[in-house]
Structure formats: structure tokens, C-alpha cells
Structure 1
Amino acid sequence: MTRVFWVRHGPTHAKSMVGWSDIPADLSDTARIERLSAHLPQEAVVISSDLIRASGTADAITGNRLRLPHDPDLREIHFGQWELQAFDTIADQDHLRAFWDTPGDIRPPGGESWFEVTHRVNTAIQRVMDSHPEKDIVAVAHFGAILTQIQKALRVTAYEAFGHRIDNLSVTELRHGTEGWKAHSINHRP
């Protein structure tokens, strides 16, 4: 069995759609970072998105764990022209609503669809599992990336996956065994 501990990066305090913009995380709550690190298995390998908010969070919690190189395939959804805009400032509100209400092939202008994000993240985590069989994995990533994995583990629609809260510095533990993916815990806050 493989356990993947999905950690959402530290808060950015941004009030807009932040996808591929490289905004750092606020990691000033050292007590919370220490609790998070202590909650994670010590023999796990640690991987993160290459965006600084995720890689910085991973560096803060790694401790003595094996730190793998950053992986750009673990990035957040690419919002394209919607990047760093507040929801209510998007001119085409029908397109925006369709993107969130019926996720699938719909993409922001210049961005990527839910199916593309899902494929990218699935491929990334499978590479880590293939390289480190039967090892626990700590994957520090983003809201959308984590939701793709929750959708897979729960066998629900993307819309249903979007109903899950994924707080900054929370842990979502998913397990892969003979019966496929299962969710052990979602949005745990150590």
C-alpha cells in the first residue's frame, strides 16, 4: 500500500485566482509548521510543485525526509487570462461559471481544463510511486491539484470534488492498494 499525504501550501493571502503566478507562502506560523511536520511519516519522500509557495512549504516541513526535486506537473490550475483576477472582475461570467460548475473540457482563455490538470497531476504522482514503490509520499501542492486526487479517490464528479474544503497547511491522506485509491482523511489540520 502507498500512502500519499497531500499538503496544501502555506497561505498567500491573495484575494484572486492564483494559478501559476509565483507568489510566496506566509510560513511565519512556525508552531503550526512544526505540528504539520510532526504529523507526517518520517520515512516518507517529499515532493512539491515548483511554485515557491509549495516548494517553500515543502522545504519547511521536510526535516530528515528525502526531498525530491520540484515537479511542475504538481502546479495549480493554469488560469490563463483569469490569473490574479477576482471572480467578479472576469468579463465573461457565463464562461467562468461553466468552468467551475461543469468542470471538464472548459478552460479559461489561455489556461487549462480540469481534465488537463487531472491528467498532469495523475501522471506526476504515478511517476513518484513508480520511482519509490511502497513508500509513503508527502506531496506539497495546491487546491486544484489536491482536488483532482480527491475526485479519483472518492470516485465522484469534479463538481462534487470542488465541494471539499482544502485549507492551507492541511493534510489530505489518500491510500492506494489492491482496490485502487481510497480517501483516509480530507483537510486534516494538525
Structure 2
Amino acid sequence: MTVIYWIRHAPTHEKAFVGHRDVPADLSDTAQIARLEAALPHDALVVSSDLSRSVDTASAIQGSRTRLPHRVGLREFDFGAWDGLHFSEVAERWPDLSRGYWENPGDIAPPQGESWNTAAARVTADIIALTAQNPRRNIIAVAHFGAILSQVAQAAGIAPYRALSHRIDNYSVTEIQMHPTWGVARINHIP
């Protein structure tokens, strides 16, 4: 069996959309980092998106585990023109588009950004390739809110809108079985 232990990166304290924009994580909660590191399987491989908030979180919880190269495919959704804007500003400037993006996630995308379907396909393809390269190995994947939710939807066979009802907190573990079949073991577990 192959299990992916999806970890949401440490907090950034941003109050705006943060997609492909690279912002640092706050890794000052060393007690939480230690609890998370201890709760994860010690024989798992560690990988992260290439954005520093995930890279640095992965380094903090790596311990003696083998680290794999960072993966662009595990990045957060690309929010395009919305990246760096507060949610209220997006709603004011693009009222119909922003409402549609959250209420009917699928093919709707922010200007110069990616839709749920595009981002989910990117993340899914990347994690499938990663597990094919590392058969029968459990993987700790440090990534982002949207990337993790896309995999919850994939594994649970639920619509994106329903997946968005789940919380994915910083430092949380979302455990998804990939082989022999896809399935969700737990979502948003805080050690």
C-alpha cells in the first residue's frame, strides 16, 4: 500500500490570496513542528512543492527521512491577477467571477490563473508520477490548501465544491491511500 501524508505548510500570516507568489512561512512553533515530525512515519520519503513556505516546512519536519527534490507540480493553485489581493478586493473587482470560482469550482479561473480542474489535474499527475517513481513507498508531501483539497476530492470521489467544505489547517495531516486503490483515511488531523 502507498500512503501520501499531505502536510499543509506552516502559516504565512498573509491576509490575501497566496498562490504561486512565494512568501515565507513562520516556523517559530517548534513544539508543533516536533509533534508533527514525531507523528509521521520515519521510513517515508519527504517531498514538497518548490515554494519556500513548503520547502522550509519540509526541512523542519524531515528528521532522518530521505528528501526528494522539490516539485513544481505540487504548488498551490495559480490565482493569477488575484494573487496578493485581499478577498474583499477580489469580490469587489470581479464579483461574478469570484463568486463563480468558489460556488462552482471546475473550469472557472481567475484572470491569468488556473481553474480548479487545471490545478487538480496538475497535482494529481505529479503525485501519480512521484508514486510511480517510488513504488510501495509512503510519502510525506508538504504542500498547500488547494493542492491538498484537490487530492481529497480525487480520493473521495467528491465534487470540488464539497471538497472545499473541509478545513486544511497549517501543520495538519491529510492521509490519502493511493495504492492499491484511492481512499481517504483522515483529513486535517493535528498531531
Which TM-score band applies after superposition, normalised by the shorter structure?
A: over 0.9
Give the CA deviation at 1:177: 3.0
Question: Could you say which residue in structure 1 is the equivalent of 2:190?
Answer: 189
Q: Alignment identity in percent?
A: 50
3-state secondary structure, aligned to 1:34? helix
Q: Where in structure 2 are the equivalents of 1:71-150 lying within 5 Å?
A: 71-90=71-90, 91-150=93-152
Segments ≥4 residues shifted beyond 6 Å = none
- Distance in 1, Cα, partners of 2:135 & 2:95: 44
Question: Could you say which residue in structure 2 is the equivalent of 1:66?
Answer: 66
- Distance in 2, Cα, partners of 1:29 & 1:177: 34
Question: Could you say which residue in structure 1 is the equivalent of 2:37?
Answer: 37
Unpaired stretches in structure 2, ≥5 consecutive residues: none
TM-score, length-scaled by structure 2: 0.97
Question: Could you say which residue in structure 2 is the equivalent of 1:15?
Answer: 15
Give the CA deviation at 1:93: 1.1
Query: Deviation digits for residues 102-142 of structure 1, max 9, x if unmatched?
Result: 11111000000111101110111111101110111000000
Query: Deviation digits for residues 86-107 of structure 1, max 9, x if unmatched?
Result: 1110201110010111111110
- Distance in 1, Cα, partners of 2:95 & 2:73: 28
Letter in 2 for 1:170: S
Unpaired stretches in structure 1, ≥5 consecutive residues: none
123-132 or 162-171, larger mean C-alpha shift:
123-132
